Amino acid sequence: MFQKFAVLGLLNVAPMTGYLIKKNLEASISKYWPVSYGGLYPALHKLQEEQFITSHGQDDDGRGQITYAITDTGREALMAWLLEPRSSVQCKDEFMLKLFLSKDLDREGRIALAKAYVRHKEERLADMRALLALKETEKVFTDSTTEFVIDYTMASLNHEIELLESFVKAESKRK
């Protein structure tokens, strides 16, 4: 259900191909909400059936890029969803769960776990930097709100990396 609104939200910024929708989802929203890329095209077809989006650009022989655009009905559905009271916030983080439950791991095990998490966060930060580079080529569409989310994400990732590195340093000093 949320994928539907993620797609509508992106198309509310600008019309996009399926490829650009996927790139924008993975570069922006995936930190906050898991996205099923295998379900993207079925979701696009369902959104068309609901008349929330339109498509154009495919040739009669099935070739060519299809560009999707939000309809007024889709925009109304998106606005209604945005104004609904929020559901509970669920942040699932397997690394933090493992770290929380790691009391029986030895120090080296906890350090290895935290270092793996640092690498994961650094990869996500590199993804965000790549997003900024794509933005310069106009392959990723942003507005002031999405730019805020990108900045927020980068600041959060940098802070998380700092905290994890402090944890690793403190664990390394323990006997």
Tokens coding 67: 């560009």
Give the DSSP per-residue string, 109-174.
HHHHHHHHHHHHHHHHHHHHHHHHHHHHTTSS---HHHHHHHHHHHHHHHHHHHHHHHHHHHHHH-
Query: Collapsing DSSP states into helix, strand and coil, what is residue 90?
Result: coil
Q: What is the pLDDT of residue 147?
A: 78
d(CA 52, CA 43): 11
Q: What is the pLDDT of residue 152?
A: 87
What tens digit of pLDDT does each residue of 150-170 get? 888 889 999 999 999 999 999
- The Cα-based distances of 83 to 79, 135, 142 in angstroms read 6, 28, 21
Q: What is the pLDDT of residue 88?
A: 65
Phi then psi for residue 69, to 5 deg, are: -140, 145
Q: What is the pLDDT of residue 80?
A: 92
d(CA 94, CA 92): 6
CA angle 121, 140, 53 (to 5 degrees): 115
The conformational region for residue 106 under phi > 0 = left, psi -120 to 50 = alpha, else beta, is: beta
What is this structure's pTM?
Answer: 0.66
Instruction: State which residues of the chain have pLDDT below 50.
Output: none
d(CA 2, CA 167): 34
Q: How far is residue 128 CA from its own chain's centroid?
A: 10
Q: Who's near 142: CB < 8 A, 6+ residues apart?
A: 13, 135, 150
Q: What is the pLDDT of residue 39?
A: 82
Q: What is the pLDDT of residue 170?
A: 95
Q: What is the pLDDT of residue 155?
A: 94
